[in-house]
């Protein structure tokens, strides 16, 4: 049985955060993830966790202006001081909320800089974050984001992500693989999952092309979920899709053993 986490940022964007926890519990998810929880008081998150019994298993390291079309932090040489502060903030929140894993967003390649310059900055920053958080027992993952949804993102494919891990060469850095982003880049998802199984630190999923729930697009989720269940990966699978209805019927149609 896959261990499902509900991505509260995408699933229920119009609800108060506390209500999102309730919705996640109602659809039988066993944990939640929040992209950027930093505007919500820690006490409020603690209350929601205590009320529902759902832990927060993943947050993102702050990424500055990335989601607003900017370059972000992690691959930008001129923003390394900001990056260090972002890592410290993520550490404080992860410790306070007992979050086991934080996600590093590579950012966009700034105009006028070579890819190699940005990649080396990312390598240095990822190594710093991996070392810093390892001291506190917190895992770091990094994800590839397709260049259709985020043009200019430095790591658009799982191959790019694998190259980063090889260059960083730190045992506390793993892959966050998102089936949606891989599909948008035309990757062979089953092959990537099989080949990179030992490096997976977190999984996420949504259907393509609309980033909806499984069954709303073209991906063969029953086959993919069966494969994931057979991998030597026992972490969380994050439902990071845009909800179009309250019915979680895809679970009975797509999940093995349901």
Map out the domains of the chain as residue ranges. Answer: 3-254
Residues of the chain with pLDDT under 50: none
Q: Quickly list DSSP for 41-93.
A: -HHHHHHHHHHH-PPEEEEEPP-TTGGGTS--STT-GGGHHHHHHHHHHHHHH
CA pair distance 157, 249, nearest whole angstrom: 30
CA pair distance 236, 161, nearest whole angstrom: 19
Active site residues per annotation: 143, 240
pTM assigned to the model: 0.95
pLDDT of residue 71: 98
Which phi and psi angles does 60 have, rounded to 5°?
Answer: -95, 145
Task: Enter the tokens of residue 213.
Answer: 């729930």
Maximum Cα–Cα distance across the chain:
52
3-254: CATH architecture: Alpha-Beta Barrel (3.20)
Q: What's the pLDDT tens digit per position in 149-173? A: 999 999 999 999 999 999 999 999 9
């Amino acid at each position: 049985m896959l261990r499902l986490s509900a991505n509260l940022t995408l699933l229920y964007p119009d609800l108060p955060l506390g209500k999102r926890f309730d919705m996640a519990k109602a659809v039988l998810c066993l944990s939640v993830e929040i992209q950027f929880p930093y505007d919500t008081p820690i006490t409020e998150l603690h209350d929601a966790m205590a009320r529902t019994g759902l832990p927060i298993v993943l947050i993102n390291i702050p990424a500055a202006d990335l989601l607003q079309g900017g370059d972000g932090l992690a691959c930008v040489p001129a923003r390394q001081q900001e990056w260090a502060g972002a890592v410290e903030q993520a550490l404080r929140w992860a410790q306070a909320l007992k979050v086991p894993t934080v996600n590093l967003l590579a950012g966009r390649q700034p105009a006028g800089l070579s890819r190699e310059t940005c990649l080396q900055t990312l390598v240095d920053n990822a190594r710093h974050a991996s070392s810093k958080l390892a001291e506190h027992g917190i895992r770091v993952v990094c994800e590839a984001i397709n260049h259709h949804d985020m043009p200019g993102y430095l790591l658009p494919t799982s191959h790019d992500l694998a190259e980063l891990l090889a260059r960083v060469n730190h045992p506390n850095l793993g892959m966050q693989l998102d089936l949606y982003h891989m599909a948008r880049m035309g990757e062979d998802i089953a092959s990537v999952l099989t080949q990179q199984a030992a490096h997976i630190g977190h999984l996420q999923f949504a259907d393509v092309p609309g980033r909806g729930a499984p069954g709303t697009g073209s991906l063969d989720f029953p086959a993919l979920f069966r494969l994931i269940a057979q991998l030597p990966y026992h972490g969380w699978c994050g439902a990071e899709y845009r909800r179009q209805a309250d019915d979680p019927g895809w679970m009975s149609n797509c999940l093995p053993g349901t």
